[in-house]
Amino acid sequence: MKRFFKSKIVGIAALAFGLAFLVGCGDDDSFSPVSGKGDVESSDSIKSSSSVESSDSEESSSSSVIPASSENSRSSSSRVSSSSSNNSPDEPASAIEINITTKDDIFNPEIDYGEMTDPRDGKKYKTIEFNGQTWMAENLNYADSTKNILIKGNTHCYDNDEQNCELLGRFYNRTVAMNNDACIPGAVCNLGDAPVQGICPDGWHIPSWNEMYDFDWAVDDRLDYVRSANGWGDGVKIIAPGLDTYGLSFVGMGEYVNGRSTSKGLYSATWAVSESVYSYLLIKVVEQRMYVDDISLEKMTDNFFGVRCIKD
């Protein structure tokens, strides 16, 4: 049985005379988190035959929590966030600036973060307890190709500017994220038993598809609760600061696709483990939505996303 994504009921029931209202989301038709060719499987569509399949009895991570009220609300379409991410168009232009000059600008000053050190290069990362697990509260920025030859040519900074990697995190393709040279676009790769360490440091792992799915349930439409206060906006659309209530501090790092950087400040995607499909968590503020998604192998291209590691 295929596992489908949950949805938020956004329509109003049909009136007595058959009048119905459709509630849609988004005005950015150019968004293409997994294809630069426009041939993208919509997050609102039913997954193709090559999408990941699992039994309803499949167990999630023991430290994850799925709200009981969610069990009967799953459907084939992705959930659309109800949080109000956009201000009115007449608000001041300062609301759309990406005000990040140091990493501290990303984090919630009211949160007591933990800290971990990557022993491979000595870089320090803030951590946060969420849903029974310890998450990195920022995107990974590891790039030592002398210690890992897969990294060479398979990671990028936004606009190829190292400062963007320092502030927003680094983009990795599927091969490097999973740390497996068989995980190339269009290929099924054997990742072994979970957890999959991937490019994460020892003692940490790439989120599994189930862990991402549980994350999505736990956040439950509260998109602004996981967005950083700074780091969202493109100089055109009015985007309110995130609340970052949970301290996860997801920032609008954009993506690197088909050889170019795009959509900084509008959305952020991070890798999830999958052997047969292209899986990720997407936080897309321009359309006020957040979802865990997967794309069939035939639709995969050379996309680079961020990495968030979870402690084993």
Q: What is the pLDDT of residues 121-159, one digit of tens each?
A: 999 999 999 999 999 999 999 999 999 999 999 999 999
CA distances from 137 to 28, 129, 165, 203, 260 (A): 28, 9, 15, 16, 26
Does residue 119 carry a pLDDT above 60? yes
Does residue 300 carry a pLDDT above 90? no
Cβ burial 250-284 (10 Å sphere, 16+ → b, else e):
bbbbbbbbeeebbbbbbbbbbbbbbbbbbbbbbbb
Task: Select the highest-mean-pLDDT range: 77-81, 113-117, 292-296.
Answer: 113-117
Number of domains in the chain: 1
In this structure, of 10-24, 94-108, 272-286, the range with the lowest mean pLDDT score is 10-24
| Token pair 């009967």: residue | 72
The CA distance from 202 to 312, in Å, is 9
Q: What are phi and psi of 192, to 5 degrees?
A: 75, -165
In this structure, of 110-114, 265-269, 305-309, the range with the lowest mean pLDDT score is 265-269
115 falls within a domain: yes
57 falls within a domain: no
Does residue 40 carry a pLDDT above 60? no
Of 236, 239, 269, give the one whose Cα is nearest residue 251: 269
Task: Select the highest-mean-pLDDT range: 7-11, 88-92, 113-117, 231-235.
Answer: 113-117
Task: Select the highest-mean-pLDDT range: 26-40, 58-72, 113-127, 177-191.
Answer: 113-127
For residues 79 and 44, the answer to whether their CB atoms sit within 8 Å is no
Query: What integer pLDDT is reported at residue 298 of this predicted model?
Result: 65
The CA distance from 33 to 42, in Å, is 10
The CA distance from 231 to 249, in Å, is 10
In this structure, of 40-44, 193-197, 213-217, 266-270, the range with the lowest mean pLDDT score is 40-44
Query: What integer pLDDT is reported at residue 201 of this predicted model?
Result: 97
Does residue 26 carry a pLDDT above 60? no
Neighbours of 233 (CB within 10 A): 24
Sheet (strand 277-284) strand order: 267-271, 277-284, 289-296
49 falls within a domain: no
pTM comes to: 0.71
| Token pair 């309110």: residue | 240
| Mean pLDDT, rounded, of the chain | 73
Does residue 167 carry a pLDDT above 60? yes
- Is the CA virtual torsion 207, 211, 213, 218 positive or negative? negative
Query: What integer pLDDT is reported at residue 253 of this predicted model?
Result: 94
Give mean pLDDT, residues 168-192.
90
81 falls within a domain: yes
Task: Select the highest-mean-pLDDT range: 61-70, 118-127, 249-258.
Answer: 118-127
Q: Which residue has the higher pLDDT, 24 or 293?
A: 293
109 falls within a domain: yes
10 falls within a domain: no
Query: What integer pLDDT is reported at residue 211 of this predicted model?
Result: 94
Query: What domain range includes position 246?
Result: 68-311
164 falls within a domain: yes
Does residue 216 carry a pLDDT above 50? yes
Query: What integer pLDDT is reported at residue 274 of this predicted model?
Result: 85
Neighbours of 32 (CB within 10 A): 19
Does residue 292 carry a pLDDT above 80? yes
195 falls within a domain: yes
Q: Which residue has the higher pLDDT, 200 or 299?
A: 200
CA distances from 235 to 227, 261, 264 (A): 18, 16, 10
CA distances from 9 to 219, 240, 282, 291 (A): 16, 24, 20, 15
